A and B are shown apart, each in its own frame.
Chain A
C-alpha cells in the first residue's frame, strides 16, 4: 500500500514534467472545446463533437499513456531500481492502472462541462467513459509489458489506438464499418455516449473485452516473471 502511494506521487510529479504525456491527456478535450466554441451553435453539433472526441480520448489516451510509462521505465532501467527496492510487480501495475485511469477520467470530465447533459445522460456518459478507459489502460499495460522500449511500445500502441479511436467515428459514414464497430469496445462506448443510455449489448461487449484483456494481462504477468 505504501509502495502504491509512493509510486502514485512519483508518477504525478513525473507526468507534470513530461510535456508529450500531458498533451496526450489534454489534446482531445482541448480540441473538442475549440470545435464546439467555433461551430457549436449549429444544431446537434456539440453533441456530435463530444461523442467523437470523448470516444477518442477514452480509447487513445489511456492506451498510449500506460504503454509509454511502462516501456519508459523498462528502457531507462527505473523499473529494475524499483524491483530492487522491494516493489512487487503487482503493486507497480496496480499503481500504474490507478494513475492512468484517474488522470484520464479527470481530464475526460471536461467533456461533461461542454454539453448540456441531463443527469441520466451524465451518469451513462461517466459509466461508458470509465469502462472504455479501464479497457484501454489494460491494453496499454499489455503493450508495455511486451515492449522493451518506448519506440517499440509506440509502434504497437499507436496503430491499436488509431483503430479503436477512429473506427467509431468512421462508422457514422459507412454501414459495414458501423457493423464492425459494434464489436469494438470503443464502438460501444461511442454508442452509449451518443444515445445517453446504457444497453445490454454494451454490457456484454465490455464484459467480453474485460475478460480477454484481464486474461492477457495475467498471462503476460506470469510469463514475464520467468
Chain B
C-alpha cells in the first residue's frame, strides 16, 4: 500500500527554486530516508508533506492531498520536526498528557511510551531542564504516543551522541516492526545505510538516485577492482584482470577465500560522484 506519493513536487521561495520536481512513493512499513546536504530542500519537503506549506505538483499522504489534510490525517501521523516545540515550563508528564488528550489516547499509555524512549523517571522534570538528547526523546515520545501509522522525522539524531542515536534507531526499527511507516531526513550516510529500507538522494531539489542503500552502492560500484576477504580476515583489492586469476584460484584451492565482490563505494562517495559535492555539511 502506498502511504506517501509525490509527483513532480515543486517549491520556490521568491526567485529561488528549492524543489524542482520531486517524485517518489513510500510503501507501508518501510523506513524511507531522504538524504541530502544542507540546503538541499529536505525540511522543505517534510513541511510540504505535513501540510504546513503549499507546493506545485502533487503531494499526497494516505491518498489525501497534503494541502488539505485535516484532523483525520493528523491522527494517523506523528512528526518530530525542528520547528515544532514543546511547552518549556511544563513537565514531561504534563506535555505528554496534553497530547494524550488531544489524540484521545488513554493517559495510561504515557508511562509505556516514556519507557520506550528511555525517559522513564523523568516524568516530573520540566522541559527547560532537559538536555538536547532528552528533549529529542520527549518530542519522539509525544509524536508516537498515539501509535501513528506514518512518522516524519527531520534529522532525528543530529547533534546527539552515538549511544543516544543508536537507541533512537532501535526504537525506529521497533516502530517499523509494529507496522508503522517512517520518513526520515538526514545527512548522515552511515545512519541512512544501516537504518533505511530505501533512500533517495536529494541534490538541489532533485532526486538524483533512489533505491535500497546496498543496491545503490552496488550500482555505482566498479568491476574494475575486486575486493577479497580471506578466511583469516585479511582484505585485499585486486584489479579485475586475467593475470590475477591465479591468485584467486590459489586462495580457492587453499580454502582461504571467504568473500569476493566488486569494489563498492559508500553512499557519500556515490553522492560525490553524482553531484560533485560532499554529502556532509
Contact = CB atoms under 8 A, between A and B. Distances in A.
Interface string B88-110: 11100010011101111000000
A216 B142 CA distance: 34
A13 interface: yes
Contact of A76 (B79, B85, B101): B85
A84 interface: yes
A2 B104 contact: yes
Nearest to B77: A84
A14 B90 contact: yes
A78 B85 contact: yes
Given A13-B90, A81-B142, A2 B84 contact: no
Interface residues of B, number: 29
B136 to A, nearest CB: 14
| Among A17, A83, A84: residue with most chain B CB under 10 A | A84
Contacts of A127: none
B236 to A, nearest CB: 52
Given A76-B85, A77-B83, A85 B99 contact: yes
B50 interface: yes
B169 interface: no
A76 B99 CA distance: 17
B101 A80 contact: no
A77 B85 contact: yes
A86 B103 contact: yes
A79 to B, nearest CB: 9
| Among B75, B84, B90: residue with most chain A CB under 10 A | B84
A211 interface: no
A84 B98 contact: no
Interface of B: 50-52, 70-71, 74-75, 77, 79, 81-90, 94, 97-99, 101-104, 126, 142
Please list the 10 inter-chain residue pairs (A to B) with the smallest Cβ-Cβ separation, ordered nearest first.
Answer: A77-B85, A6-B101, A86-B74, A86-B71, A17-B89, A76-B85, A81-B84, A80-B84, A85-B102, A10-B98
